[in-house]
Structure 1
Amino acid sequence: MENIMIHVRFNNDATVSEIGERPSALTAQNWFNHLSRNTQNCYESLSGGRGVFRLSTEQLNVLKQEISV
């Protein structure tokens, strides 16, 4: 099973400015919110206004399908 890292970059006001693997139907902030609400123990805060979600490919596919429904 392959693992994926989704990188997140935050603005100074803590809103999301960039995030990887984002479906085109969502804003960066909405994709971050969806990942945060629907995963557990997958997010790691990093220094410099950054963070990363670590997900399996299968998990990511399920999360993206939830957006399409």
Structure 2
Amino acid sequence: MFFFQIGSIVLALHDASDVFLEAAKVFKYSEKELGASVCFGFFDISWLLLRLIFFPFWIIISSRFRG
């Protein structure tokens, strides 16, 4: 059960930033550069926060010390 919980959190963290990437693609394909740039900026910030800060320092450390 523990690995299912950790896997669900990892999936949620990794998929949260993908929403902004897909929105940026939609704006880019519809030739709305400002919307694409804003959404890509949100994607960039969320990717950095979720995958490079929250994942290693929150998920990996909390699952490592669980006995």
Shorter chain as denominator, the TM-score bin is under 0.3
TM-score, with length taken from structure 1: 0.24
As a proportion of its length, which structure holds more strand? 1
Instruction: Choose 1 or 2 for highest CA Rg.
Output: 2
